[in-house]
C-alpha cells in the first residue's frame, strides 16, 4: 500500500489478526499510523526534507511483520550533498525495556565498565553503526502492551547504516539512519572513545535511493519473551539469504587433527614443575612465541583441562602415545599442585610458579570448568587404562565447597580468595558451577548436590527473566555479556535430563533466544581493503563478546552441542540451523600450516581470537594476531561432545 508525498489521509490497509487484535494502517499527514482495534501502537514518520520527493509503502509479510519501504528522489537540478536520511517508527508508549542487540540492554546499567550507558550522552542520542548489530540496525522496545522491533534490509547501494533508540517520556523512537554514523562519540576500544564519525551520502539530480525497514510488533510477554517473535523473523530471513547452502571451510576430521597438532606442538609448555598448555602465541621476530605472562589457565582462555581431555580421547581413537602422555601429564600436574585444603582449586598456574598469594582470586568460570572437565577426565583416564581417583576427588571438592558456601537465595558467587572468602557475588557467572554440581549428583546421588543445583538455577534464571540479560561471564570485563548465559543453557538442559521436568526445557529455549541476540543473522559487507574482505571472513554465525568488548569471536562453540541437543528435544529445526551457522563461522581461518595473514604464516591448527567487526582499535573488518588456545580447545570439545560429527555437515 502506497502513500505519495504529504497532505492527505487515506485508510489503506487492514491486516490479519493475532492475539484477538486486528492490525490497521492509516496513511496520514504525520505519517503511517499502526493501530490494533483502533488503539495506536505507533507511527512511521514521513521524510521532512523539502529537497526530496518520497514514496512510502507498507507491505504485510505475515501477521505482525511489515516491510516499510521509502523511495527518496532528488527531483531538483543540483546534487544534494551531506544527506542524512532517517526511517523513524515512534512506539506510542513509555518504554519498560529497551535493547539494541549486542550493544545495549536497558541502557547497560549493570556493571563497572565504561561502555555506552543510557541512550543519550551529554544530551545527544547515541547512534551506532549497523556493523555493531547482529541484525542490521536492530532496535527493540517494550511498552505497557506492545513490543516493537525495527531493523533494516541492506542493499549493495547502502550496505551499512546506523540506528538509534530514543526513549522520551510516553514514546520511544526507533530510528534507522543513512549514511553510517557513530555519534556523539565513537566507542573505539574497551572503555575508550574517539570523536564521533559520519559518512557522506550524495544524491545527484534524478537519482533515487530505496530505504527498507522490517517492523515486527507483538504483545508484551512475561520475562521479555516477545523478543522471540522478532528474532524468529530475523533468523528466517537471514538463514534463507545468508545461511542456507554454505560449505564448511574444513571437515571435522581435519579440524580434529589440526586441533590436536596445535595443542601438542605449539601450545605444549614445560616450566619448572609445570606440564601443560600455554594460553597462546603472539608475533615474535619473524615467527611466533608463547605469551610470556599470565599464561597457564585451567579453563576460560587457557583451557588446559579441556585440551588434556581431548588428547586422552585422541589416544583412544588413534593410540598415539604422545597424546596420552601429554594429556595425563597436564591433568596430573594441575591436580598435584592446585588443590586447596578447603576444596577450592587454583585456576592460574602462574600463581603457583611465582608463589603468589596476595590478591589471588579463583573465579566461578574457571572453577566450574575445572570441575566439569575433571569429572570427564576421570572417566577418560579409566578408558585409557589409567586409574586417577584424584581427578574425581578434585571435582567433588570444588562442588562440596560451593554447596557449603552457597547463599540461602541459591546464589554461588563470582570469585573467591584461596582461603574461601567471597568478595564478589554479583553476576550470572556463578551459574558455571551448576553443571558440575549435577555431575557430582550423578557420582554421589545421596549428597545434596541436586538440591544445590536447582536452587542456584532458580536464582540465576529468575534474575535473568527479570533483567532480560546475563552478566559477568567475560572475565576481562565487568558487564552484560553472552558468556554468562552459556552455563544457564547447559544447566537447563542437564536439569531437564535429570528431573524430566518440562519447565527446564522451556527455560533452555528462553535462554537460547537471549543468546541469539548476540548471534550475527547476516553476512555484513565490508570494504575490499578490509581484512574481512581480503581473507574471506563471513560474519554470519559469529557472536559478539559483551557490551563492554565489541568484537566477534568463536566462543559460541561452547553451546553448539547444546543447540543440537535442544533441536532434538524440542523438534524445532531453528536450533540446529543456528548451531551449524556457529560452527561454520567458528572454523574460518583455521590454519593448515600454510595460511598467511598479515605477512606471517600461522602454525597448523592455530586461529586468532578476535574479529573486529566494528571500528574497534582501528577500522571495521580487522583480524587480530592473537593465536589464543581456547578456539582450538572449544572446537575439539564440541567434537568430543558429539557422537556423530555428521550433525555438523
Q: In the prediction, which pLDDT does 21 show?
A: 67
What is the architecture of the domain spanning 252-648?
A: Alpha/alpha barrel (1.50)
Instruction: Count Cβ neighbours within 10 Å for each residue of 512-538 and write b for 16 or more, e otherwise.
Output: bbbbbbbbbbbbbbbeeebbbeebebb
Q: In the prediction, which pLDDT does 14 show?
A: 42
In this structure, what DSSP letter does residue 603 have?
Answer: P
Average pLDDT, the chain: 95
Instruction: Write down the domain spans for the chain.
Output: 2-220, 252-648
Phi, then psi, of 269 in degrees rounded to 5 = -140, 140
Which residues fall within 8 angstroms of residue 254, CB to CB, at 6 or more apart? 592
Q: Rounded CA gap, 417 and 396, in Å?
A: 19
Return the C-alpha cell found at 252: 571435522
Contact (CB, 8 A) for 520 and 582:
no
Contact (CB, 8 A) for 313 and 380:
yes
Q: In the prediction, which pLDDT does 7 show?
A: 31
Phi, then psi, of 4 in degrees rounded to 5 = -95, 130
Residue 264 pLDDT level (bands cut at 50, 70, 90): very high
Q: Rounded CA gap, 627 and 613, in Å?
A: 18
Q: In the prediction, which pLDDT does 4 show?
A: 53
What's the sign of the alpha-carbon dihedral 276, 280, 281, 282?
negative
Q: Rounded CA gap, 630 and 124, in Å?
A: 40
Of 531, 526, 537, 584, nearest in space to 556 by CA: 584
Of 178, 392, 300, nearest in space to 609 by CA: 300
From the CB of residue 33, how many other CB atoms can be counted at a distance below 10 Å? 19
Could you give the percent of the chain with pLDDT greater than 90? Answer: 93
Collapsing DSSP states into helix, strand and coil, what is residue 556?
helix
pTM reported for the whole predicted model: 0.97
Q: In the prediction, which pLDDT does 251 show?
A: 96
Instruction: Count Cβ neighbours within 10 Å for each residue of 456-471 and write b for 16 or more, e otherwise.
Output: bbebbbebbbebbbbb
Return the C-alpha cell found at 431: 551459574
Phi, then psi, of 356 in degrees rounded to 5 = -80, 135
Of 452, 464, 457, nearest in space to 427 by CA: 464
pLDDT in tens, 282-321: 999 999 999 999 999 999 999 999 999 999 999 999 999 9
Phi, then psi, of 38 in degrees rounded to 5 = 70, 10
Return the C-alpha cell found at 514: 537471549
Of 445, 16, 437, 370, nearest in space to 217 by CA: 16
Return the C-alpha cell found at 11: 485508510
From the CB of residue 173, how many other CB atoms can be counted at a distance below 10 Å? 20
Q: In the prediction, which pLDDT does 434 show?
A: 98
Which residues fall within 8 angstroms of residue 97, CB to CB, at 6 or more apart? 106, 141, 142, 224, 468
Instruction: Count Cβ neighbours within 10 Å for each residue of 85-94 and write b for 16 or more, e otherwise.
Output: bbbbbbbbbe
Return the C-alpha cell found at 351: 600463581
Contact (CB, 8 A) for 490 and 248:
no
Return the C-alpha cell found at 169: 517520556
Q: In the prediction, which pLDDT does 235 show?
A: 98
Q: In the prediction, which pLDDT does 29 show?
A: 83
Q: How far out from the chain centre does Cα 162 lie?
A: 20
CA dist list (Å): 134 to 100, 467, 470, 567: 9, 20, 18, 22
pLDDT in tens, 6-35: 333 334 444 445 455 689 999 988 899 999
Q: What is the mean pLDDT of residues 354-383?
A: 95
Q: Rounded CA gap, 7 and 274, in Å?
A: 78
Helices (H), 444-571: 449-467, 486-499, 502-516, 531-535, 560-570
Question: Over 60: is that where the pLDDT of 522 sits?
Answer: yes
DSSP string for residues in 366-424: HHHHHHHHHHHHHHHHHHTT---HHHHHHHHHHHHHHHHH--TTS---SEE-TTS--SB
Question: Over 70: is that where the pLDDT of 489 sits?
Answer: yes
Q: Rounded CA gap, 130 and 159, in Å?
A: 9
Amino acid at each position: 500500500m502506497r502513500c505519495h508525498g504529504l497532505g492527505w489521509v487515506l485508510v489503506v490497509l487492514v491486516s490479519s489478526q493475532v492475539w484477538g487484535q486486528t492490525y490497521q494502517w492509516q496513511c496520514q499527514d504525520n505519517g503511517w499510523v499502526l493501530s490494533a482495534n483502533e488503539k495506536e501502537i505507533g507511527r512511521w514518520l514521513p521524510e521532512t526534507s523539502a529537497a526530496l520527493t518520497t514514496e512510502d509503502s507498507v507491505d504485510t509479510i505475515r501477521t505482525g511483520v511489515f516491510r516499510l519501504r521509502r523511495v527518496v528522489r532528488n527531483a531538483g537540478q543540483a546534487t544534494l550533498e551531506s544527506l542524512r536520511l532517517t526511517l523513524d517508527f515512534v512506539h506510542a508508549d513509555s518504554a519498560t525495556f529497551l535493547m539494541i542487540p549486542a550493544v545495549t540492554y536497558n541502557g547497560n546499567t549493570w556493571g563497572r565498565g565504561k561502555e555506552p550507558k543510557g541512550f543519550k550522552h551529554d544530551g545527544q542520542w547515541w547512534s551506532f553503526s549497523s556493523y555493531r548489530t547482529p541484525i542490521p540496525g536492530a532496535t527493540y522496545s517494550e511498552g505497557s502492551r506492545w513490543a516493537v522491533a525495527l531493523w533494516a534490509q541492506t542493499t549493495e547501494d547502502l550496505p551499512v547504516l546506523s540506528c538509534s533508540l530514543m526513549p522520551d517520556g510516553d514514546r520511544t523512537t526507533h530510528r534507522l539512519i543513512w549514511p553510517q554514523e557513530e555519534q556523539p562519540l565513537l566507542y573505539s576500544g574497551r572503555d575508550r572513545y574517539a570523536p564521533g564519525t559520519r559518512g557522506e551520502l550524495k544524491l545527484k539530480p534524478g537519482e533515487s535511493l530505496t530505504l527498507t525497514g522490517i517492523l515486527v510488533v507483538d504483545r508484551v510477554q512475561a520475562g521479555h519473551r516477545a523478543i522471540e517473535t522478532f528474532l524468529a523473523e530475523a533468523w528466517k530471513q537471514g538463514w534463507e539469504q545468508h545461511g542456507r547452502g554454505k560449505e564448511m571451510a574444513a571437515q571435522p576430521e581435519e579440524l580434529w587433527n589440526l586441533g590436536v597438532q596445535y595443542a601438542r606442538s605449539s601450545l605444549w609448555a614445560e616450566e619448572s614443575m609445570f606440564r601443560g598448555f600455554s594460553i597462546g602465541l603472539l608475533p615474535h621476530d619473524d615467527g611466533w612465541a608463547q605469551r610470556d605472562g599470565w599464561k597457564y589457565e585451567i579453563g576460560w582462555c587457557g583451557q588446559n583441562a579441556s585440551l588434556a581431555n581431548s588428547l586422552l580421547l585422541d589416544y583412544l581413537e588413534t593410540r598415539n602415545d604422545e597424546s596420552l602422555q601429554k594429556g595425563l601429564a597436564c591433568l596430573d600436574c594441575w591436580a598435584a599442585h592446585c588443590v586447596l585444603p578447603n576444596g577450592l582449586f587454583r585456576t592460574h598456574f602462574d600463581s603457583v610458579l611465582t608463589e603468589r598469594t596476595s590478591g589471588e582470586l579463583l573465579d566461578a568460570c574457571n572453577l566450574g570448568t575445572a570441575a566439569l572437565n575433571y569429572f570427564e577426565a576421570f572417566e577418560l583416564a579409566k578408558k585409557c587404562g589409567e586409574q586417577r581417583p584424584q581427578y574425581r576427588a578434585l571435582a567433588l571438592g570444588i562442588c562440596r565447597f560451593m554447596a557449603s558456601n552457597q547463599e540461602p537465595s541459591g546464589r554461588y558467587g563470582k570469585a573467591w580468595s584461596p582461603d574461601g572468602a567471597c568478595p564478589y557475588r554479583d553476576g550470572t557467572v556463578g551459574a558455571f558451577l551448576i553443571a558440575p554440581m549435577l555431575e557430582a549428583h550423578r557420582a554421589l546421588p545421596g549428597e545434596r548436590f541436586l538440591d544445590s543445583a536447582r536452587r542456584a538455577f532458580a536464582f540465576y534464571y529468575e534474575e535473568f527473566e527479570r533483567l532480560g540479560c546475563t552478566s559477568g561471564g567475560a572475565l576481562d570485563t565487568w558487564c552484560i555479556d553472552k558468556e554468562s548465559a552459556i552455563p544457564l543453557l547447559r544447566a537447563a538442559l542437564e536439569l531437564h535430563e535429570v528431573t524430566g521436568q518440562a519447565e527446564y526445557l522451556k527455560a533452555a529455549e528462553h535462554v537460547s533466544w537471549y543468546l541469539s541476540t548476540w548471534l550475527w543473522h547476516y553476512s555484513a559487507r565490508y570494504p575490499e581493503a578490509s581484512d574481512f574482505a581480503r581473507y574471506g571472513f563471513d560474519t554470519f554465525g559469529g557472536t559478539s563478546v559483551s557490551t563492554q568488548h565489541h568484537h566477534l569471536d568463536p566462543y559460541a562453540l561452547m553451546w553448539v552441542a547444546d543447540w543440537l541437543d535442544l533441536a532434538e528435544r524440542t523438534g524445532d529445526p531453528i536450533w540446529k540451523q543456528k548451531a551449524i551457522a556457529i560452527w561454520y563461522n567458528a572454523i574460518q581461518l583455521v590454519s593448515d600450516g600454510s595460511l598467511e595473514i598479515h605477512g606471517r604464516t600461522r602454525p597448523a591448527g592455530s586461529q586468532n581470537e578476535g574479529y573486529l567487526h566494528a571500528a574497534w582499535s582501528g577500522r571495521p573488518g580487522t583480524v587480530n594476531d592473537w593465536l589464543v588456545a581456547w578456539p582450538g580447545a572449544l572446537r575439539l570439545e564440541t567434537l568430543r561432545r558429539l557422537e556423530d560429527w555428521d550433525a555438523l555437515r
